[in-house]
Amino acid sequence: MAVLLAENIYGGYGDSVVIQDVSIRLEKGEIVALVGPNGSGKSTLIKTIYGVARLFKGKVLFEGRDVTGLPPEVKTRIGMSYVPQTYNIFPDLTVQENLEMGAYIIDDPAKIADRMELVFSIFPDLKVFREKLAGELSGGQRQMLAVARALMTEPKVMFLDEPTAGLAPKIAIGLLKTLIRIREETNIPMLLVEQHARRALQLADRGYVLVSGRIAVEGRGDEILSRKDLQELFLGIQKR
Amino acid sequence: MPDLLSLLKDPLFIDIVVIFGVYMILSLSFNIEYGFTGIPNLGKVLFYAIGAYVAGVIAAWIALRIAAFTPKTPAEGPAYCAYGAPQTITEVFKTNPEFAIGVFLLSLIIGAAAGAVLGVLASYPALRLREDFLAITLLAFSEIGRLITRTEWWPVCAHYGIRGIATPFAWLGEYSRTIYMFLVLVMAALMYLLAEKLVNSPWGRAMKAVRDDELAAEVYGKNPARVRAQAMAVGSAMAAVAGTLYAFYLGSIMPDDFMPIVTFLAIAMVMLGGTANNRGVVVGVAVLVLVDRLFNASVLERKFGIPLPDYLANSIAYLKYVVIGMVIILILIFGPQGLIPEKPLKTPVVEETKKRLKMLARKES
Amino acid sequence: MVPTLVYTVFRAVLDGLLEGSLYALMGFGLTIVFRVTRVANFAHAEYVTYGAYAAYVAMVAWGLGLIPSAIVAALAVAAVALASDELVFKPLWRRGSTPLHFLVASIGVGLVLRFSLQAVAAAVPGYLNIRLPRFPPTLTVVGGKVAINVVHAAAPLLALSTTVALHILFTKTKLGKAMRATASNPTLARISGINVIMVRRVTWIIGGLLAGLSGFIISYYIQANPEVGWNFLLWMFAAAIAGGFTFYGTILAGLILGIVGQVAIILAGYYAGITTAYKPAIALVIMVLVLLFRPEGIIRIQSLGLRRRA
């Protein structure tokens, strides 16, 4: 059974439909890359599934349960987790408080402490800066904190919206490697939106290519990468 | 037509029309600043007061010079604050047509100029502050102004106020206020035309551009600071004109006539009619001026034969502000466009583009 | 022999402390509501007035004691504050209004609250000017001239303990941190599972409680009319703005404003012949200067986390 199943999704903002008839699934322990050119609707798709953007039509199943139309806070409560692309930290709170807010839905302090230890073991930098205001962190540290915050709830699935956006290549690769490590240690399935298609498909198990709000191609990461007709997409993006 | 004549002489009718004209100008000026340029001038009443006080000071001072008035008992402040001065001032208005009309025109010009200068000065914070803090700052300016007029005898007679001013037609006797009423209406119409002309000019488009996206406006070569200062200058000059017209109508200028509630009333009028829409403002002003003047126990009883029970008679004057508050809230929640929504821009280029697009569409099908 | 001026100034400092405590208590409500919901709430002034009247009704009409009347005032105003959010500000927030719309709406709320009270007070004999029928007992008389009464001590204590309580709430409790999180990034707060609607409610209730207590103190120590809160409006905004919308900042700014307001005007009158009518100018000028030249507040306290972002 797929951990997450989104079927025939139509989504967007206000009255404009951006996502048209998109179906995706996420199996246990899988990293799935969602790639595509600028403006193809990658972020909108995630937002629609999570309930931040508007869902016009379609169905979302999480662990077999119908979660269509549930507000984001409820989705988080039942084990989903989401790292937005921008505004993904609380800049006026300290690093530690950001993590505590990530664990808002957990009541047991011992469990929060455990999660925090785990998160600090993955991102040792954050432990050093735990008393610092999140707004004063560097770009790379902010993205780490954003991922760490989303990990605090012990999620059963994670959506990551371009966590490497705006990072220097070295730092971006380091963050992606950390994501693989997180998957190995926790077995959390991840839906990863990436601007950098080649990089994402190399590390992902499977991938979807989104073009103009529709799925153009889907399949195993290496399969998509080897397709000749898609080279332009990867090159076009790599040139940027 | 005895009915029409008696209506034209009816003080309540004159009152409603004059207040309509005055608030018309005041609301149009608020619309230029807020509706079109995005400056929330919560200090509007300050510029209105400037116009009124300039008129009062000039008229009172010149009138007393003409009458060679010296106060019997030395007064605090200028001679026109003294006991007996108001009667003398009124007397000069009644007997000296050249003075009455001349001083009226002079006050309009000087008042408008003073308003414009003050408006440019007050636009300075508009460059540095976020909208909501800017609103509070401008409100604070207007309260500082009122504090000064309440306290200082030079040149505004503090809480006693400047009294004895009459309309520029006082020498005509019976119909002087009726004629003045028409003059105010003509002024309001002129201001309306001026406002329409301004907001439909390239400058009006620059104001909207600054309102909607300052950065983009700057990229396209508009200087937001200058556009704001200009909007404040024009808006404040208009508000001062409204104040001058009001001063000559009312005859006495008191500090507590210039409380923030005047600003709030103008805001409610603009919002009710439709922000960034001058036609809407006319409707908004008409409705709320009627509310303002008819929520009055003695008017209701004497004019319309509707007697109010005691408890309502005492409180109805307050209830009108409850209505005004409700208007502000309901418009914001249910129809921020107001009664008449903002029109899209009309320029030759836009029209031409629309025509070509239509032709293209026809060709394709 | 101590000169009279010393007593006068001492008296002014005492009254300034009391007034400053009130500014701070009112400023806290403004601060907390502004931080969490972005509403620069002009109607906060009216909450204070309602607190004064609620205390009066509780004591005079219902015959309650002093403390129960204070509690009634706080609770009643909390209800009014909550209702104004549920009926006005929350619907506006849902439709994506700007902070300026909130401010204008709060003017509307203020007009409705103030003038409906005016209308009632005009119709009910004895309600245009009220004062609780109990006078604060005198604690001690200094130098045979300056009487210090209970409120002189109670108001600053209340303000200080409220500061500490708010600080603890906002830095040590989960609820308070959730409030700060919501203030800092409302969308992410929702995504983190925080019930932002509940956070909103708590925010308005706290603001209302504090405004109600301020109103109670006013009708106990000074006197109240339907405009009393409105007359404090610019003072409370001055305290909150000069304090940079932080709690320690607001109480410091409030006390400074209170004492400077009282003392400066007495000294200005004594030495320069400036009339006391200019007292409100102090608040206005300080507020405008702070907004123009130091918008992060006079006092920068970042450890609170309630830091103002540019």
Of the listed ranges B114-118, C129-133, C293-297, the one predicted with least confidence: C293-297
The pLDDT of residue C135: 85
Residue C176: list chain A partners with CB under 8 A.
none
Mean pLDDT over the full length of chain A: 89
Average confidence (pLDDT) over A158-185: 89
Do residue A97 and residue C183 have CB atoms under 8 angstroms apart? no
pLDDT at A233 over 70: no
Average confidence (pLDDT) over C10-32: 93
Do residue A101 and residue C309 have CB atoms under 8 angstroms apart? no
Chains meeting A at 3+ CB pairs closer than 8 A?
Answer: C
The pLDDT of residue C304: 41
Of the listed ranges A85-94, B213-222, B258-267, the one predicted with least confidence: B213-222
3-state secondary structure string, chain B? CHHHHHHHHCHHHHHHHHHHHHHHHHHHHHHHHHHHCCCCCCCHHHHHHHHHHHHHHHHHHHHHHHCCCCCCCCCCCCHHHCCCHHHHHHHHHHHCHHHHHHHHHHHHHHHHHHHHHHHHHHCCHHHCCCHHHHHHHHHHHHHHHHHHHHHCCCCCCHHHCECCCCCCCHHHCCCHHHHHHHHHHHHHHHHHHHHHHHHCCHHHHHHHHHHHCHHHHHHCCCCHHHHHHHHHHHHHHHHHHHHHHHHHHHCCECHHHHCHHHHHHHHHHHHHHCCCCHHHHHHHHHHHHHHHHHCCHHHHHHHHCCCCCHHHHHHHHHHHHHHHHHHHHHHHHHCCCCCCCCCCCCCHHHHHHHHHHHHHHHHHC
| Max intra-chain CA distance, chain C | 69
The pLDDT of residue B80: 85
The pLDDT of residue C309: 36
What number of C-beta contacts closer than 8 Å exist between B and C? Answer: 131
Residues comprising chain C, all counted: 310
The pLDDT of residue B338: 66
CB-closest option in A104, A135, A149 to C194: A104
The secondary structure element, H or E, covering residue A112 is helix A109-122
Of the listed ranges B61-65, B196-200, B353-357, C61-65, the one predicted with least confidence: B353-357
Residue C105: list chain B partners with CB under 8 A.
328-329, 332-333
> What confidence tens digit (pLDDT) does each residue in B77-111 have?
888 888 888 888 888 888 988 999 999 999 999 99
The CA–CA distances, whole Å, from A159 to A155, B141, C31 equal: 10, 51, 35
pLDDT at B225 over 60: yes
Nearest to B112 by CA among B38, B18, B190: B190
Euclidean distance between CA atoms B120 and C227, whole angstroms: 33
Specify whether the CB–CB gap between A48 and A9 falls below 8 A. yes
Euclidean distance between CA atoms B113 and B239, whole angstroms: 11
pLDDT band at B339 (very low <50, low <70, confident <90, very high): low
Structure tokens at C179: 């409030």
Average confidence (pLDDT) over A164-191: 89
Do residue A101 and residue C305 have CB atoms under 8 angstroms apart? no
A109 reaches C (C-beta below 8 A): no
The pLDDT of residue A103: 93
* Other Cβ atoms closer than 10 A to B247: 28
The pLDDT of residue B37: 86
Average confidence (pLDDT) over B17-30: 95
The pLDDT of residue B124: 84
Euclidean distance between CA atoms A134 and B91, whole angstroms: 73
The pLDDT of residue C279: 82
User: What contacts C126, CB < 8 A, 6 or more positions away?
Assistant: none
Do residue C193 and residue A104 have CB atoms under 8 angstroms apart? yes
* Other Cβ atoms closer than 10 A to C131: 16
pLDDT at B255 over 60: yes
Mean pLDDT over the full length of chain C: 89
User: What contacts B38, CB < 8 A, 6 or more positions away?
Assistant: B131, B210, B211, B212
The pLDDT of residue C308: 39
Residue A86: list chain C partners with CB under 8 A.
none
The pLDDT of residue C1: 61
> What confidence tens digit (pLDDT) does each residue in A20-30 have?
999 999 999 89
Do residue A104 and residue C302 have CB atoms under 8 angstroms apart? no
Query: 């603009």: which residue's tokens?
Result: B270
The CA–CA distances, whole Å, from B232 to A96, B54, B207, B280, C112 equal: 48, 19, 11, 21, 29
Average confidence (pLDDT) over C111-131: 92
Euclidean distance between CA atoms C117 and C50, whole angstroms: 8
| CB burial readout B260-299, b (16+ within 10 A) else e | bbbbbbbbbbbbbbbbbbbebbbbbbbbbbebbbbbbbeb
At position B150, the amino acid (one-letter code) is R
pLDDT band at C306 (very low <50, low <70, confident <90, very high): very low
Do residue C195 and residue A52 have CB atoms under 8 angstroms apart? no
A143 reaches C (C-beta below 8 A): no
Nearest to B227 by CA among B101, B104, B123, B121: B123
pLDDT band at B265 (very low <50, low <70, confident <90, very high): very high
Structure tokens at C203: 């925010």
The pLDDT of residue C214: 95
pLDDT above 90 covers what percent of chain C? 62
A105 reaches C (C-beta below 8 A): yes
Highest-confidence range of B275-279, C12-16, C141-145, by mean pLDDT? C12-16
Specify whether the CB–CB gap between A211 and A218 falls below 8 A. no
User: What contacts C196, CB < 8 A, 6 or more positions away?
Assistant: A73, C182, C186, C189, C190
Average confidence (pLDDT) over C163-172: 92
The pLDDT of residue B352: 79
The pTM of this model reads 0.88
Task: Phi first, then psi: give them for residue C10, nearest 5 degrees.
Answer: -60, -45
C61 reaches B (C-beta below 8 A): no
**Nearest residue on chain C to B145, judged by CA atoms?**
C281
Average confidence (pLDDT) over C284-288: 84
pLDDT at C300 over 70: no
Euclidean distance between CA atoms C177 and B13, whole angstroms: 60
pLDDT above 70 covers what percent of chain B? 96
pLDDT band at A235 (very low <50, low <70, confident <90, very high): low
> What confidence tens digit (pLDDT) does each residue in A39-59 have?
889 999 999 999 989 999 999
Average confidence (pLDDT) over C240-252: 89
Query: 């409220």: which residue's tokens?
Result: C162
Average confidence (pLDDT) over A183-190: 90
Whether chain B lies against chain C with 3 or more Cβ pairs closer than 8 A is: yes
Average confidence (pLDDT) over C119-124: 90
Residue B268: list chain C partners with CB under 8 A.
108
Chain C: nearest CA to A91, how far in angstroms? Answer: 6
Chain B: nearest CA to C20, how far in angstroms? Answer: 19
Angle, nearest 10°, between helix axes C247-267 and C279-293?
Answer: 140
The pLDDT of residue B346: 67
The pLDDT of residue C303: 38
Euclidean distance between CA atoms A101 and C284, whole angstroms: 39
**Nearest residue on chain B to C104, judged by CA atoms?**
B328
Query: 């619309």: which residue's tokens?
Result: B31
Nearest to B262 by CA among B191, B186, B321: B321
CB-closest option in C187, C192, C306 to A101: C192
Do residue B150 and residue C277 have CB atoms under 8 angstroms apart? yes
pLDDT at B58 over 80: yes
Do residue C292 and residue B137 have CB atoms under 8 angstroms apart? yes
Do residue C309 and residue A84 have CB atoms under 8 angstroms apart? no
Do residue A90 and residue C188 have CB atoms under 8 angstroms apart? yes
Residues comprising chain B, all counted: 365
